[in-house]
Amino acid sequence: MQRQHHDLPDSPHRLTVLRFGAPGGQERSDRGIEPGTGRKAYLQAGLHADEFPGMLVLRLLAGHLAEAEANGGIHGEILLVPQANPIGLAQTETSFLSGRIESGTGENYNRNYADLSDLGILSLGPDAASNVATIRAAMSARLAAMQPNGALAHLRHRLLTLAHDADLVLDLHADNEAEPHMYVGPALWPAAEDIAAAIDARAVLLSEMSGGNPFDEACAGPWWALAAKNPDLPIPPACLAATLELGSNDDVDPERAADQAVALLRMLQGRGFVEGSGGHPRLSCRATAATAMAQVRSPVTGLVAYRRRLGDWVHKGDLVATVIDPLGDETELLAETDGRLFARHSQPYAWPGRVIGKIAGEIPLESRTGNLLSD
């Protein structure tokens, strides 16, 4: 294992990367490894610095990878970034990490990554592997030519530089109070089913453009965008990128983290990054469109009394929660669709527009357009 440190200009902080194996580079195309199963994997955690489970999971996964590396069992290159946001880890407010929003700009750390599909004129042809190499080289050149301005821009640029040429990119997050779930592009499903099964996802949400260009879509999205621009040329989805929500923000449980680390190790084994047979866990849910996910929003201010437990199946019209004004009325919040209540808010207080629950439905909702994510 190599421990690499990257300074972040305009910031006193630096990013630490754990590197296992050797860069694939030309080895990828020479061996004919299929995109998405090949020679470079990138996993990060803590991009939202107040989402803690993934940090411990990657710390434990690093131990397994170090053991595999000592036995010559790493095939290609694996990068782990257990704390992808050292800036956010240093920003506190009233003794709590404010790790989702950068205090200087007010921007979400997981939004506004560069669009790497804007690459100008490319010399592409009938060979898919050659096209992948050409596109990756153009992405690298575009990133090298960028001049980020400010600490947040430098952080985004560094993370994307580390991940843009990987075959597999996993961004580990957590929701406020939630069951494990995953966000991934439709073009990458069902190829990503083993990843969802590894975290025992209870919801898989498919979206090509969820809004704001988050990190995973900045890595995977250029491939299907370029394929759409060049329909007569073979351009595969050469980067399988997904956002994994490992559970609840504050759920730092050593046993649970150990299980999730082993599950990710077996997934990496199954994909050929690590020596071993891996495993074949079954996915317990069906993938559904992110536009079918209902966000339960409060129209009023008050205390939130949940009437359904996390993981409950609800039907359209069911009472999900009651918002109680201590000085006034009660407002019932009803399910907009049939589905699983897979996430809710741990702070039992709402105000107009606040999302207090998420239901994974199966039928796209007319109300779900534009930005599909909660800021």
Percent of the chain's residues with pLDDT above 90: 88
Closest among 61, 14, 55 to 41, alpha carbons compared: 61
CA atoms within 13 A on the CB side of 56: 19
Residues 199 and 114 occupy one common structural domain: yes
Residues 332 and 261 occupy one common structural domain: no
pLDDT at 134: 97
Strand (E) or helix (H) holding 322: strand 319-324
Percent of the chain's residues with pLDDT above 70: 96
Distance CA 216, CA 185 (A): 9
Alpha helices in 127-253 (DSSP H): 128-145, 151-163, 193-198, 215-229
pLDDT at 367: 85
Q: Among 96-100, 147-151, 269-273, which stretch is predicted with the lowest mean pLDDT?
A: 96-100
The domain in which residue 188 lies consists of 2-283
Residues 209 and 325 occupy one common structural domain: no
Q: Residue 24: pLDDT band by 50, 70, 90 thresholds?
A: low
For residue 283, give the DSSP letter.
Answer: P
- Here the CATH number for the domain that contains residue 343 is 2.40.50.100
CB atoms within 10 A of CB 336: 20
Q: Is 50 exceeded by the pLDDT of residue 28? A: no
pLDDT at 370: 80
Average pLDDT over residues 275-302: 95
Closest among 344, 229, 340 to 284, alpha carbons compared: 340
Of 283, 301, 325, which residue sits at a domain end? 283
pLDDT at 32: 38
Any residues with CB less than 8 A from the CB of 176 and at least 6 apart, and which? Answer: 248, 249, 343, 344, 345, 346, 347
Residue 370 lies in a domain: no
Q: Residue 295: pLDDT band by 50, 70, 90 thresholds?
A: very high
Q: Quick one: tokens of 66?
A: 């170090």
Residues 277 and 169 occupy one common structural domain: yes
Strand pairing of 302-306 and 349-350?
Answer: antiparallel
Model confidence pLDDT, tens digit, residues 171-190 = 999 999 999 999 999 999 99
Mean pLDDT of the chain: 94
Q: How many domains are contained in the chain?
A: 2
Residue 64 lies in a domain: yes
Which residues on neighbouring strands pair with residue 322, listed in sequence order?
Answer: 305, 332
Model confidence pLDDT, tens digit, residues 187-210 = 999 999 999 999 999 999 999 988
Residues 293 and 170 occupy one common structural domain: no
Residues 213 and 341 occupy one common structural domain: no
Alpha helices in the chain (DSSP H): 26-31, 53-70, 86-89, 128-145, 151-163, 193-198, 215-229, 254-270
Tokens 């939202």 belong to residue: 48
Residues 31 and 6 occupy one common structural domain: yes
